[in-house]
Structures are given as C-alpha cells and as structure tokens.
Amino acid sequence: MSWSCLEVRERLAEFAVDALPAAEAREVERHLDWCPGCRKEAGEFQEGAARMAFALQAAPPPPALGSKVVDRVAVASGRHRPSSRRAIRVAAVAVLAAALLAAGSLTFALAMRGKVATLQQKVSQTTKDLNRFQELLQHLKANGKVFEANLVPSPGGAGGGTAAIVTAPNAADWVMVQVDVGTTSGGPYRVLLQQRSGVSILAGSLVRTANGPFVLSDEPRYFAADLSRLSSVVVLDHTGRPVLAGPVQPYTTG
Amino acid sequence: MAFGSEGPLSPETEQELMRQLTVGDEDAMRALYTRFGSPVYTMGLRLLRSSQEAEELTQDVFLAAWRKASRFDPSRGRLSTWLMAIAHNLAVDRLRHDRGPSKPPLVLMEDLPEPAPTDEEDGLLDRETARRALAGLSRSERELLALAYFQGWTAREIAEAQSVPLGTVKTRLRSALIKLRRTEADHAARAGVRDGGRP
C-alpha cells in the first residue's frame, strides 16, 4: 500500500539529503511520481540541500573529463562516431580482446584430449596476437583497463571458457565471451555480468560458432555502463541455472 | 540557442537546454558540463575522497542527467538543484557500497579538508550565497547536515551515534534545511529586486 502525503512529507528532509533507508526512499519516489504537492515540497528541501554542495570550495576537474563525459553520453545514445585516432584505439582493443580469448581458450583446449595439432596452431596464433596487441598498446599508450574471467563449470557440469572485459576511458566498455558449455542442450544460454554493488547486467545471449564454442551474439558487446567494477561473470541456461561462472580479475600477461 | 557558461539561466533556457539534451545535442551536453562539471566533481571529491572515483561519479551523473532529461521540470526547481540531487544520490550510493556495514568516524564539517582551490571564478556567486546560508545555521545543525550530506549517514545512524531520539534528528534536519532554503530564497529575492531580473 502506498504512503499518504503526511507519511511522505515527514520524510522529505531525509529524502533531500539521501538519509533515508533505500526502501523508504523508493516509496517516497513512487509517491512523488504522481503527487504534485509533495513534489513541490520535496523540491524546496532539495534546494536547501543543494546549498551544501555549492558551499564547497570548487576543485578543478581534470581537463579531459569534459570530453569523457560527452563521449560517454554519445556512446550511450548510439551516436558514437569514433575519431580516426579513437578508431585505431578501438581496433587495438578488439585485437586485445581476441588475443585474450585465444589465450584463455588454451585453458580449456588443454582439457580437450587428442587435439594436439589444433592446440599447437592455437598457441602459435595466440602468441602472434598478443605480440601484435602489445605493439599497438605501446604505440597508443592506451590507459584502459583489461579484466578477464576464467569460467569454470558448476558442480556436476562440464565445459569452460573465458570472458574478456575491456574498459576504456574514452570509449564504450565492452565484453567478449567464448565458452564451451559441455553439452548441446540447455540453451539458449545467457551471460550475466555481476557488479560489486550487487547489481547484475545482462550481457546478452550466446550463439554457437561454426567451429564449436559459443560466443556472445553481436560480439563484442558494447556497454554504456562502467564495467570496471564487475565481480563475476556467469553463464545461465534457459532455466536461469548457472552452468559456468568465474570471478573477474585484472588481466595479467604472466 | 547559446547557453553561455556564467550567470543564472532563465527557466525557459534551462528547459530548452534539457530539451536539446533529450534529442542528443552534444553542444547541450557540453554546455551542461561547462556549467556544472566542477560542482559535481567537487562533490565527488568531498564524499568519495578519490579523484578517480570523483571522475567516475561525474561521468555517471551526466549520463544519468541525459537519461532523465525529459523528466526535468523547471517549475519544480532549478537545474542546478536537480543535477546536484542526482549527483548526491549516486555519490551516497557509492559511499555506502564502499563503506559496507561499518560506520566512518565522526567528522565535523569544519574539520573536513578543503579541495584544492581553482582559478575559475564560475559559481563564485553561488558559493557565496550558499556559505551565507550555511552561516545562518547553528553549529549542531551544520554538524548534522555534514554527517548526512557529506558522510552519507542515515538519520537512524546519526540518532544512534549521537544517542538522541530518531524523531529529534528528523526534526533538526528538517529545520536546518528549511533555514538553508529560506536564507537562499531571501538572498535571491533581494538580488532580484536589485537587478530587476530573475533570482
């Protein structure tokens, strides 16, 4: 049952300074959505609260922050037109993601017996990709962050895989996933990115590639959200049951 | 329409700025950032105590402003208030998440370190008005607001820490905010009469 105006108004001061418990704040927001009288009063308290912020001695933001803000909104609105320099950078990140996935896929390729020749080819290609990426990275002095998650099966399950997460200050964050789910049934599979805050982001569905493993459809998948605070990556089957999962950690070349 | 980087915007100009934002006008976003990037970043620094977190917060705030732009209603308050409410809400979310269940030590507003001064004079009038409004509060009211606004404490946490009834904290908070708002409104009215323009 929703709150009355009286119940809401006695909480508006706390609401204005975000001093209400989350559940009560949500209840107040719901009320304000339809009640113009309480909305007006809430606005007055917020005017008072904003004075606290404006009383602070201003600190100069970093010079590049404005461009990052504009770029991030442009990406989120789907109007992102990378400059040529950024296009090169994005290309570099694409190579990185591919290389990471190739390197990660070695982990579960090792578990696949009787495929030595394939594995050797994979090692060779991976080494080339990584070298190419390192050259590009040095060239561009990229300051993005790279994370990986080695995905292992749930108890009783099979398969494995890797997720590569790339966060770049001047570009959209993105994710690539490559997994072997150990079975041909149970799909469609979905990938969930779990943030440290407890909020989860649905990265998308997996599709099977011609040579076997599953990857995200429309890979790499871009995100307006900041992906630098992920805690884990989880692959769910069609019932929502986790079949693969792994913690997100900074990528290390070692 | 040019939005400029200084001086108050009329309600019509604020509405036009947000309208342009909703249709994805990058110049509108630049104008919004030029005006409010510094106060939002400053708030991030004060609450989160990390330049990196303040940068991330600033990006999140302007992204949220873009997403919510169509909900901005100038008849309900100024753009600066609306934007700072978004900023504070996101900052407190981060603060509480990073802090977890433990409480920070009691810190008085006077003891909080000032961020480095800037050469920019934009917003100076806003700051002077705000400081004048804060000066009209008692020490205990300023401390209470500092705990809630800059430390992210809930009213219940403040009541427990200060061993006072929750109802008393709520009443004092309400009274302090009303005083802040009233001082601000009085000042704006005087400026409006003097300048013959909109407060």
Tens digits of per-residue pLDDT, B37-78?
999 999 999 899 889 899 999 999 999 998 888 888 887 788
State how far the Cα of A141 lies from the Cα of A118, in Å rounded to an integer: 34
CA angle, residues B96, B99, B101, in degrees to nearest 5: 85
CB < 8 Å to B114, chain A? 56-57
Task: Note whether B194 contacts A: Cβ–Cβ < 8 A.
Answer: no
Task: Tell me the sheet residues that pair with A162.
Answer: A150, A178
pLDDT value, residue A101 = 56
Task: Note whether B23 contacts A: Cβ–Cβ < 8 A.
Answer: no
Contact A56 B92 (CB under 8 A): no
Contact A69 B174 (CB under 8 A): no
Nearest chain A residue to B149 by CA distance is A17
Asked whether residue A88 carries a pLDDT value surpassing 70, the answer given is no
CB-based burial label for B114 (10 Å; 0-12, 13-18, 19+): exposed
State how far the Cα of A244 lies from the Cα of B113, in Å rounded to an integer: 47
State how far the Cα of B165 lies from the Cα of A181, in Å rounded to an integer: 56
Asked whether residue A27 carries a pLDDT value surpassing 50, the answer given is yes
Provide mean pLDDT across the span A9-37.
Answer: 92
Of the partner residues B59, B150, B181, the one whose CB lies closest to the CB of residue A68: B59
Amino acid symbol at A147: F
State how far the Cα of B55 lies from the Cα of A227, in Å rounded to an integer: 15
Task: Note whether B177 contacts A: Cβ–Cβ < 8 A.
Answer: yes
ipTM of the complex: 0.81
Instruction: Kindly give, in sequence order, each residue whose CB lies less than 8 Å from that of residue B100, ignoring residues fewer than 6 positions away.
Output: none
pLDDT value, residue A113 = 37
Task: Note whether A18 contacts B: Cβ–Cβ < 8 A.
Answer: yes
pLDDT value, residue A117 = 44
* Secondary structure, 3-state, A191-223: EEEEECCCCEEEEEEEEECCCCCEEECCCCEEE
DSSP state of B116: P
- What mean pLDDT value characterizes chain A? 74
pLDDT value, residue A150 = 83
Confidence of residue B170 (pLDDT cuts 50, 70, 90): very high
Residue A75 distance to chain B (closest CA, Å): 10
> pTM of this prediction?
0.58
pLDDT value, residue B188 = 63
Least confident of A87-96, A107-116, A136-145: A107-116
Instruction: Kindly give, in sequence order, each residue whose CB lies less than 8 Å from that of residue A159, ignoring residues fewer than 6 positions away.
Output: A108, A153, A179, A180, A181, A182, A183, A243, A244
pLDDT value, residue A121 = 58
Task: Note whether B41 contacts A: Cβ–Cβ < 8 A.
Answer: yes
Who wins on pLDDT, B135 or A29? A29
Nearest chain A residue to B63 by CA distance is A73
State how far the Cα of A148 lies from the Cα of A96, in Å rounded to an integer: 11
Task: Tell me the sheet residues that pair with A236.
Answer: A190, A242
CB < 8 Å to B152, chain A? 18
CB < 8 Å to A50, chain B? 80-81, 84-85
Tens-digit pLDDT profile for residues B15-43 = 888 988 887 788 889 999 999 999 999 99
Provide mean pLDDT across the span A13-39.
Answer: 91
CB distance B40 to B126 below 8 Å: no
Task: Note whether A45 contacts B: Cβ–Cβ < 8 A.
Answer: yes
Tens-digit pLDDT profile for residues B79-136 = 999 999 999 999 998 888 877 655 554 444 444 434 444 444 444 556 777 777 788 8
Contact A196 B97 (CB under 8 A): yes
